[in-house]
Structure 1
């Protein structure tokens, strides 16, 4: 693979994309949206202990969301768009190989997506100056953001080489990206509610039917004092144990469906900062804690006894839950990389020359 030929292809792609005034209008709209989001974030998170961290994570997530919405349009017709415009064949008859053409278009699409990340840098700096988290949080979140932009660009370029119609490839790119972003959430919810287990609840309460006075009886350890004193002359007996069964969803068995979600990967890979109560201070930690909570199995044997002292067992904090559960970000990134690599290989097989058979209606030159 020649670096000179690769650089030429990337330069041609970027020149073609940036010479239109619409490109700069799109970047301007992107910046305007970030101005609004940043202003609203300062208003929304100003009451927290570390508002900068929450604002920073919000801007990163909004940047990823806007890239997800825009990038498929910019990369989904990289190859078949040139084929329709009769500009792909002249490049294929040069010394540039199919792999160089495909890889060059992928890198150009990646750089194009990173332009939106570059627009968000001033706003990220504002959040950082306001206390936007530790250097590890900032560095890892940006690296994951760059990686996700590259994955989306690779999917779009690959599908543009696999499918012959630009409109169809752009729509398919949106569907694949939507499957990663929204489809994983839908699958997690539906499959989680489908996979259920039976839980048993044992409950015993006081028998109040024997008491007919005007005041309420004293509970164990309660003194008859205050404006509404209880009656300690009446002994309340306990009723029979009641047993009920019900079904609970088992999200702990299907939490791995969220591993390939770009927003979950970003949250799970980014180091989490907690406040003094063990709660995350930014969106990264909040989303990570929610996903890690899904790994916790439900309590299938519950017991509630009103007649006996119930030991106080506080719920674990998000910091404790995250420490007890397993990360999945590297699995999700691996699955995304395999998906992008497989699609790029398929696109290379469909684009390489000489070709033995072309789809009906495909234009060569």
Structure 2
């Protein structure tokens, strides 16, 4: 299969915690990827989304055809700038203004753009030039929105992997890698000042890969297990997702930014893997996604953020994290109707 450039895709998938961009409800969303050569036309995907309870979609880029196809649907749209755009956005305010003029103004408000992510996983890219220019780029995009009178309507953020944490176990001791120092503080000050969310990609599956005991699998899948006690708080965690999100909350709190909202930009479980992989299966993917959605809909929150909803998006375009093929048919059809996850042209959609 010929692979297209990785330009568009990311969706807010209300996976467990839901970033409170607009309200306190838990939302269901998808990550929309375009790494394929046989993608269905955007109107077909939009029609499919409207037949579900999907309320938010995250694009890794800003494909105008997809944004336009989502017009007048009410679906919240997250769009993103490419990592390669960051130097230009940081150094030239006019470039940031041009980006907004091209990718936002022609579509808004008919297309309900709610968040712009500047780059993806930049902080762990080992590209010091990008890392140093990330915050100035975000500031210029924010200023461009302000100049267009959209600063209070569309938020600006960036997406981080769990690798930005130096420590995540136990959750109460979560902390950011000190090597990010003032830059992380600057990002958090930006979020606090603009009311924008801190976006993170927690993947319990990858935690399981480093500890493949049966009890760890049950903990990661939120299936019956003995739980894990945080020695500091004496809280018993019953699933890895809560533990990872609370570790991020603790890291924010340790730096004095506990009021910055958290959004889960990506999460999920693969339905297949390589021959030597352990954990990927239809059953495990169904269990993870189903329990996660039920957890989100309950609005129970996490132990450190009880009763708090956080928007969560499914994984990006990895081939084995979705349940629908690019022709919009299911990878496998024998599923219950409770919490299904499917792929829409290499995208994740969570619904129940």
Q: Under TM normalisation by the shorter chain, which class is it?
A: under 0.3
Give the number of the structure whose residues are more often helix, by fraction: 1
TM-score (norm: length of structure 2): 0.26
TM-score (norm: length of structure 1): 0.25
Larger Rg computed on CA atoms: 1
Give the number of the structure whose residues are more often strand, by fraction: 2
